[in-house]
Structure 1
């Protein structure tokens, strides 16, 4: 099967995936690609047995965990993440026997250009004897990690397909910028010779003017007029703006944002943190994709060789906790819970004035504050609503300050005032 990458087919010029190696040579593109990889490999990895594990499932998870600890696991993952740029990555497992077990002694990454895929998506090795179809490879030997698989395309579709153009335009822009700087550093020298001068004189004049850019003095024939042609430009668009534009396009394509890499002159720390969260989402996707590949290949082979019959454990990398975000979330949840409790108390105080339990229950349910509660809890609220009646106002006791502990104020009974003659109430 052949790759379906239009950029690779149209611009490869026989180099194949090597054109994507040139993308990594760009300082900006290489750094943002490394950043996306390092964001993943910097996370702590965990191996957990299958759900509701048996003793054999737990043993399988322990075996896989032991194998990963004995290998440079982060480097292995980083090699496989090369698929993010090129669409697929291949690593070879070198097995070794140790006692009764069969373990991966080392895992070696290979150049993708050495492999093709058959109709079953199995890799085949290109050799001098078979440069088109490739040689068949043994099972349980090569880990294939794919990125951007769409349809029947075992080669995947990496970010290189879209990064090729901004990197190319940027490279060409730098070439023009260097030419522009060269013109500013040494202006063009113009020599005017008399009409009809001999070709030998013209050649000597040109040689003398060519050395004028680096010499402090020159000698030209009599009658030659010499002047400098200065480079000039107008407008506000510069080569720097052109290159920075493509740097931003590269960052957006790789990391989904720009401010976590370059905050610029108008950015802010809050905006940068928001953009960094977008990168975290992309890394989460890379992590899930890589975990699935390892589970279907390396983990499966280790378990089948050493703990046959056990269910496959899972491996993943945990996203680091954001303490500030968690604290803000807990604070918001606490404030929301307090507001809900206060509103529910107000509803119960109103319901306490209703003597019919059924009517009070309808009022409590209609408030919308008990939607997550079951019927037993709602019935309990109907029962205790009478305990939440508002206490009647108590007149202050003359001579006793408010809030004195141990002082119980008795309700003051006020009788009807005597009717005074001539006073209309």
Structure 2
């Protein structure tokens, strides 16, 4: 007899909750029979790590502000409260972990709640591994455990999703796009290594005379092996050794290299949207580079919107709990690159005038300019006073030219003043009238 039907029903739901799993529709994962942990292992690949860090830098390295939702006093109180709340947040680490949503489709971010002076605070904001979670048939976020599953508590997690849809709440996984290129390239390197071991050394051909004994043949073969191993060998006068190269082998090696580079390009294109950032190569043009950098800027803005959206949801909850739903929540905003460029350029101009000089790496990192298009031209050496050092002859010629121009300009000014004096005197009816005319015309000079 069931004493508590509701409890029994709840136990059954918990027991069979794992049957309510909505399968991840990612085709690549399904065909390869892998999951998010396998995709995470792709970070061990040097090319993936390089281009992924480049994409991360566009978000983690960007400046941001927290702006009030409105100009009224309550909104300003809310923004001051939020700024104080997040003062100890490790934003680079949090934002970098949030980007799991781009790499693996989604990322639940846990809110660690606490109270101080009867005010609810998000003490910390911690992104969790997406492989710990799944979605139910009703599209609810579920926490996965070893024996069962449970729906995550309300207002405990902020869910970040990369291009989700009704059919696919798991989002689009960027790293699933690079799984096969990485796999193919790794296997290609293995076959390339075998090719080098087999055909990298030159082919050495030895001839022996007809009727040579087996012992003579073995001696010749041993001598050929010594040539390969030690580059030295000895033999009788009638021995013949020929070192042959093979153009076909050289072409085969180029095929392996082309295959390797093609997979690297696919990885860069999938993660960065273009290839010039990670590998400019011997081809390309300035126009192509500018287009590719614009693509990178657009992708960076898309990543920033995902991150800013998560913080804005957090700020909305904090504002609602402490100040009421009617108070506009603060906004997390990334600084626009154009504004940063203008402010930084004005500052750098001041530093340049003070004597600071910047290299191509600095200009590329802070102004998003392709290093291939930067040419840093250092100024000629200057004296401590700031004047250029000339030879004595050049110095004299420069001084003569300068004083000559001053004399000519000064003479023209004096002639103009004298003409004014003459005009005033010619119009005057008395000495006092002439003095007054001159003083009125040139009162600023007297």
TM category, shorter: 0.5 to 0.7
Instruction: Name the count of aligned residue pairs.
Output: 316
CA–CA distance in structure 1, aligned partners of residues 31 and 251 of structure 2? 36
Query: CA offsets, 1:378-410, max 9 Å, x none?
Result: xxxxxxxxxxxxxxxxxxxxxxxxxx999xxxx
Are the equivalent residues in 1 in contact too, given 2:85–2:123 (CA < 8 A)? no
Are the equivalent residues in 1 in contact too, given 2:273–2:296 (CA < 8 A)? yes
1:99: which partner in 2? 117
Q: CA offset at residue 306 of structure 1?
A: 2.4
Are the equivalent residues in 2 in contact too, given 1:184–1:231 (CA < 8 A)? no
Q: CA offset at residue 188 of structure 1?
A: 8.4
CA–CA distance in structure 1, aligned partners of residues 158 and 203 of structure 2? 59
2:335: which partner in 1? 318
Q: CA offset at residue 71 of structure 1?
A: 0.5
Match 1:65 to one of 83, 103, 106: 83
- Residues 342-357 of structure 1 mapped to structure 2, 5 A cutoff: none
Query: CA offsets, 1:16-37, max 9 Å, x none?
Result: 1122113222212221122112
DSSP-derived class of the 2:52 partner: helix
Are the equivalent residues in 2 in contact too, given 1:284–1:319 (CA < 8 A)? no
Query: CA offsets, 1:296-331, max 9 Å, x none?
Result: 3x22222233222322222121222278899xxxxx
Q: CA offset at residue 87 of structure 1?
A: 0.5
1:279: which partner in 2? 296
Q: CA offset at residue 53 of structure 1?
A: 3.9
CA–CA distance in structure 2, aligned partners of residues 67 and 91 of structure 1? 17
1:242: which partner in 2? 259
CA–CA distance in structure 2, aligned partners of residues 163 and 90 of structure 1? 23
CA–CA distance in structure 2, aligned partners of residues 147 and 159 of structure 1? 9
Q: TM-score, normalised by structure 1?
A: 0.62
Are the equivalent residues in 1 in contact too, given 2:78–2:329 (CA < 8 A)? yes
Q: CA offset at residue 4 of structure 1?
A: 1.0
Q: TM-score, normalised by structure 2?
A: 0.60
1:324 and 1:284, CA in 2 relative to 1: closer, same or farther beyond 3 A? closer
CA–CA distance in structure 1, aligned partners of residues 28 and 75 of structure 2? 45
1:4: which partner in 2? 25
CA–CA distance in structure 1, aligned partners of residues 311 and 139 of structure 2? 17
- Residues 350-369 of structure 1 mapped to structure 2, 5 A cutoff: none
Query: CA offsets, 1:49-98, max 9 Å, x none?
Result: 23x54321222222222223321122211111111111011232222222
DSSP-derived class of the 1:264 partner: coil
The farther-off stretch of 312-321 and 206-215 is 206-215
1:324 and 1:272, CA in 2 relative to 1: closer, same or farther beyond 3 A? farther
CA–CA distance in structure 2, aligned partners of residues 124 and 229 of structure 1? 66
Are the equivalent residues in 2 in contact too, given 1:256–1:278 (CA < 8 A)? yes
Match 1:47 to one of 62, 66, 84: 66
Match 1:264 to one of 273, 281, 297: 281
Match 1:19 to one of 20, 38, 42: 38
The farther-off stretch of 66-75 and 206-215 is 206-215
Are the equivalent residues in 2 in contact too, given 1:124–1:136 (CA < 8 A)? yes
Match 1:111 to one of 114, 125, 129: 129
1:152 and 1:66, CA in 2 relative to 1: closer, same or farther beyond 3 A? farther
DSSP-derived class of the 2:87 partner: helix
The CA RMSD over aligned residues, in Å, is 4.0
The farther-off stretch of 108-117 and 314-323 is 314-323
Q: CA offset at residue 147 of structure 1?
A: 0.6
CA–CA distance in structure 2, aligned partners of residues 32 and 303 of structure 1? 38
1:156: which partner in 2? 171
CA–CA distance in structure 1, aligned partners of residues 138 and 330 of structure 2? 26
DSSP-derived class of the 2:108 partner: strand
CA–CA distance in structure 2, aligned partners of residues 124 and 108 of structure 1? 17
Are the equivalent residues in 2 in contact too, given 1:20–1:164 (CA < 8 A)? yes
CA–CA distance in structure 1, aligned partners of residues 106 and 157 of structure 2? 12
CA–CA distance in structure 1, aligned partners of residues 340 and 99 of structure 2? 28
Query: CA offsets, 1:118-173, max 9 Å, x none?
Result: 2453322221221xxx1232222222211121333221112123222222221121
Question: Which structure shows the bigger proportion of residues in helix conformation?
Answer: 2
CA–CA distance in structure 1, aligned partners of residues 285 and 53 of structure 2? 24
CA–CA distance in structure 2, aligned partners of residues 215 and 4 of structure 1? 58
1:229 and 1:95, CA in 2 relative to 1: closer, same or farther beyond 3 A? farther
CA–CA distance in structure 2, aligned partners of residues 325 and 274 of structure 1? 21
Are the equivalent residues in 2 in contact too, given 1:260–1:273 (CA < 8 A)? no
DSSP-derived class of the 2:142 partner: strand
2:187: which partner in 1? 172
CA–CA distance in structure 2, aligned partners of residues 123 and 138 of structure 1? 9
Are the equivalent residues in 2 in contact too, given 1:60–1:312 (CA < 8 A)? yes
CA–CA distance in structure 1, aligned partners of residues 64 and 342 of structure 2? 22
